Structures are given as structure tokens and as C-alpha cells.
């Protein structure tokens, strides 16, 4: 046993194994082995020059916590998606991405980020929903309106603007000042309380004004008074003149009584 395991006895056996391997190897096998060896040496050279040894700790950590398996799964999912995607789908996806990038660029250049706090407050207090509801109402009204209705609304708006312009040019602000002073002094309340009664008696006031105008015209046509006691007697002898004098005296008494009550 000791003779068979000695180094002197092992060398002939190794030489015979090498000789048998050399006899069984063909030229094709030798060329493939040489090519594989060259490729292996080239790969080792590239790995050595690329500094892959620095990535070995990170790769070992990824293998340890399972991230490498997740990357492989993600790569398989990406590969499956790439195989399932058609040229039309890729075109639409590219168009969508391009549109999204253009939209983001426009938002960035328009300073949209300054409006984000305002939009956030509108969303928090519910004003954004109210704006949406108002927009829906306006859209519904716009859909329901026909050309005739639009024309009437435009005519009404034009007439309203014309009225406002006339009021501005007529000095309506002075009337507003007068009404404000009447309101501050309390006279406006009194006027509002007396207005129904004034409306009821407005016909009487109109007739009184007509009588005054007609009496003034009649007085212009009469001859001038002659004067004296006899002329006064003759004037008072007329029954119509006496009735007129009674009417004036009756009105005067009523006015005096009302004035006295008002002073109290």
C-alpha cells in the first residue's frame, strides 16, 4: 500500500491519464477549448477593468435580503409587457408621454405652482365644488337657451346699461344723498308712512292745483276793483261769492286746527 501511494508511483499514473486525454482530444475540441479559454480570459479582463469587484458587496447584500430576486421578477414583468405591447400601443403610449411632458412644461412655465395653495384652500372649504356647480348651472342654462332667448337677454342687458348710463349722467347721486339725509333724520320713515294717504289724495291735490290755475286766469280777465264800501257790499251780495268765502273760511279753520294740533 505504501508503495502505491508514494509520489514515485503516482507520477506514471498521471502521465498515463494525460496521455489518454491527449489521445482522445480531437483538433475540433482543442480549438473549442482554446476559444472558450480565450473568451474566459477576455471576460475576466473586462471584469477586472470595469471594477466589478467593487460591486460584489452590494450584489451580495442584494442576494442576502432578496432584492436580486425582486429585480429578476421585475425584469421578467418588463419583458412580458414588452412582448405583449404592439406597435400601436407603443405609439399611443409615446404620444401620451409626450403630451404629459408638454403639459408639465406648460404648467411649469405658467407658474401654476403659485395657484396650488389657493386651490388647496378652495378644496378645503368647499368653494371649488361650488364653482363646479355654478359652471354646471351656467352650462345647463347655455344649453337650454335658444337664439331668441339670447337676443332678448342681450337686449335687456343693453337697456339696463343705457338706464345706468342715464342715471349717472342725470346726477342721481344727488338724489341718493337726499334720500340718505332723509333716512338719517327719520323723515324717510314718516314719508313712507304718509305715502299711501298722499297717493289717495293726489287727485284732490291735482284738482286743487287746476282750480288755482283756472282762478288765476279768471282773475286776469276781470276788471280791476273800484274800491269802496259799496263795491264790497255789492260783491258780498252775490250768493256764489258768499259760498266761495264760506269755503275758504272753512278750509282756513281746518288748517288752523291741524296746525295747532301739530305744534302740540
In a domain, 55, yes or no: yes
What are the distances in angstroms from CA 62 to CA 50, 56, 59, 73?
20, 10, 5, 14
In a domain, 159, yes or no: yes
Domain termination site, one of 46, 64, 83: 83
Note the pLDDT tens digit of each residue in 66-76. Answer: 888 888 888 88
| 124 & 163 share domain | yes
Q: What is the DSSP letter of 233?
A: H
Mean pLDDT for the stretch of residues 174-180: 81
Helix axes 187-200, 202-221, angle to 10 degrees: 70
Comparing 232 with 5, which gets the higher pLDDT?
A: 232
Contact 55, 47 (CB under 8 A): no
In a domain, 179, yes or no: no
- C-alpha cell of 160? 339696463
What are the distances in angstroms from CA 240 to CA 73, 226, 228, 253, 255?
125, 20, 20, 20, 23
Residue 4 has pLDDT above 60, yes or no: no
Confidence of residue 6 (pLDDT cuts 50, 70, 90): low
In a domain, 253, yes or no: no
Separation of alpha carbons 108 and 114, rounded Å: 10
DSSP result, 191-225: HHHHHHHHHHTHHHHHHHHHHHHHHHHHHHHSPPP
For residue 41, the Cα-to-chain-centroid distance in whole angstroms is 69
DSSP result, 121-178: HHHHHTHHHHHHHHHHHHHHHHHH--HHHHHHHHHHHHHHHHHHHHHHHTTHHHHHHH
Place of cell 477549448: 33
Domain count, the chain: 2
In a domain, 19, yes or no: yes
Note the pLDDT tens digit of each residue in 179-193. Answer: 788 888 887 788 788
Place of cell 479582463: 45
- C-alpha cell of 234? 255789492
> Residues with Cβ < 8 Å from 189, sequence gap 6 or more?
183
| 26 & 70 share domain | yes
Question: Could you tell me the residue range of the domain that residue 37 belongs to?
Answer: 7-83
Residue 1 has pLDDT above 50, yes or no: no
Amino acid at each position: 500500500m505504501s508503495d502505491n501511494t508514494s509520489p514515485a508511483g503516482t507520477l506514471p499514473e498521471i502521465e498515463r491519464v494525460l496521455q489518454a486525454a491527449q489521445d482522445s482530444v480531437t483538433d475540433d475540441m482543442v480549438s473549442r477549448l482554446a476559444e472558450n479559454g480565450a473568451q474566459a480570459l477576455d471576460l475576466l479582463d473586462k471584469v477586472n477593468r470595469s471594477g466589478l469587484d467593487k460591486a460584489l458587496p452590494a450584489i451580495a447584500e442584494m442576494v442576502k435580503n432578496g432584492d436580486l430576486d425582486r429585480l429578476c421578477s421585475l425584469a421578467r414583468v418588463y419583458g412580458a409587457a414588452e412582448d405583449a405591447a404592439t406597435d400601436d400601443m407603443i405609439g399611443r403610449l409615446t404620444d401620451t408621454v409626450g403630451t404629459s411632458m408638454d403639459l408639465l412644461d406648460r404648467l411649469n412655465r405658467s407658474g401654476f405652482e403659485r395657484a396650488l395653495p389657493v386651490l388647496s384652500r378652495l378644496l378645503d372649504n368647499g368653494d371649488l365644488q361650488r364653482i363646479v356647480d355654478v359652471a354646471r348651472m351656467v352650462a345647463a342654462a347655455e344649453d337650454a337657451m335658444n337664439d331668441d332667448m339670447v337676443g332678448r337677454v342681450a337686449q335687456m342687458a343693453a337697456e339696463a346699461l343705457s338706464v345706468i348710463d342715464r342715471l349717472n349722467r342725470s346726477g342721481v347721486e344727488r338724489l341718493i344723498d337726499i334720500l340718505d339725509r332723509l333716512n338719517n333724520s327719520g323723515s324717510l320713515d314718516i314719508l313712507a308712512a304718509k305715502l299711501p294717504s298722499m297717493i289717495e289724495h293726489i287727485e284732490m291735490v291735482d284738482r286743487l292745483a287746476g282750480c288755482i290755475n283756472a282762478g288765476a286766469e279768471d282773475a286776469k280777465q276781470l276788471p280791476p276793483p273800484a274800491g269802496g264800501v259799496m263795491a264790497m257790499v255789492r260783491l258780498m251780495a252775490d250768493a256764489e261769492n258768499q259760498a266761495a268765502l264760506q269755503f275758504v273760511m272753512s278750509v282756513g279753520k281746518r288748517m288752523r286746527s291741524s296746525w295747532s294740533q301739530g305744534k302740540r
